[in-house]
Structure 1
Amino acid sequence: MRLAFMGSPDFAVPALRALHAAGHEIVAVYCQPPRPAGRGHAVHPCPVHAAAEALGLPVRTPARLRKDTAEHAAFAALGLDAAVVAAYGLIIPDPMLVAPRRGCINIHASLLPRWRGAAPIQAALLAGDTETGVTIMQVDSGLDTGPMLLRGSVPITPATTTPELHDALAELGAQLVLRALDEAPEPVPQPAEGATYAAKLTREDGKLDWTQDVAVLERRVRALNPWPGTFTLLDGAPLKVLAARPEAGAGEPGTVLDEALLVACGSGALRLLRVQAPGRGAMDAAAFLRGRRIAAGTRLG
Structure 2
Amino acid sequence: MHKRRLQLLFMLPAFIVYSLFVMVPMLGSFYFSFTDWNGLNARYHFVGINNYISLIHDAEVWIALKNTIVFAVLVTLIQNVLSLLLAILVDGSSWVKRFLRVVYLIPALLSALAIGYIWSYLYNPVLGVINMALQNIGLGHWAQDWLGDPKWSMYSVVFTNIWQWMGLSMIIYLAGLQAIPGDLYEAADIDGAGNWERFVKITFPLIAPAFTVNILISIIGSFKVFDIIYVMTKGGPGTATESLAILLYKKAFNFNEMGYGTAIAIVMFLIILFISIFQLRILRSRELDA
TM-score by length of 2: 0.22
Greater relative contact order (CA < 8 Å, ≥ 6 in sequence): 2
Find the structure with the greater CA-based Rg.
Answer: 2
- Structure having the higher strand fraction is 1
More helix by share: 2
**What is the TM-score normalised by the length of structure 1?**
0.21
